[in-house]
Amino acid sequence: MKEFIRGFTDDVVRTIYTVSQTEIAKAINIIQSVYERDGRIYIFGNGGSLALATHWVSDFNKTVFSHNLEKHRRRFQAIRLPSTESEFSAWANDMGYDMVFAGPLQNYLQETDCVIAISSSGNSPNIMKAVELARAHYVPVIGLSGFDGGTLNTLADAKILVPTEKGNYGVVEGIHDIILHLITKYFQDYFDHCVKQDTV
């Protein structure tokens, strides 16, 4: 059992060091630019990736400014798509599952925004439909993918690839979660520092 645990953790550690820090930095810069434009961040994924998107939105919207809410009237606006399960099922039932992200996104998308697309394979048709919509509106795309990256890693502006053998969802999704926490922590520290500088 211990050998299995050690092998799994070694795989995670080895893989996380292969993820491009440059691409993560690009993603952070895109999100910073969206904040400065008072835009919105739309995030989406299927299955476990949808759970990651939901978790990140709740963390990011609450945590980044949690130490100094009174100092920042303008905050991040991160939105998971679709925003409700009933909307998800309505799009899937009435328009087709390939529209569950692109349909809601088309209702809201502005040139000030960005999207974060999460897909382990990088090839989910409903994810790619929303990514293509964002690109058609010249809205930057942050792509979190795994395996060989698929089409998402080709089309994204920030290409956060967790390279593994095909089907290694546990490692890919786990590292995606760590990267999303990293982004939250970066901005929390960044704005905490800004407040400290203002009070000096």
Which CATH number is 2-199's, of 3.40.50.10490, 1.10.1050.10, 3.10.330.20, 3.40.50.720? Answer: 3.40.50.10490
All residues at 6 or more sequence positions from 119 whose CB lies less than 8 Å from its CB, including other chains:
45, 46, 49, 127, 143, 144, 145, 150, 152
pLDDT tens string, the chain, 200 residues long: the values are 999 999 999 999 999 999 999 999 999 999 999 999 999 999 999 999 999 999 999 999 999 988 776 776 678 999 999 999 999 999 999 999 999 999 999 999 999 999 999 999 999 999 999 999 999 999 999 999 999 999 999 999 999 999 999 999 999 999 999 999 999 999 999 988 875 665 54
**In this structure, are residues 56 and 137 in contact, taking their beta carbons and an 8 Å threshold?**
no
167: left (phi over 0), alpha (psi -120 to 50) or beta: left
Domain boundaries, given as residue ranges, for the chain: 2-199
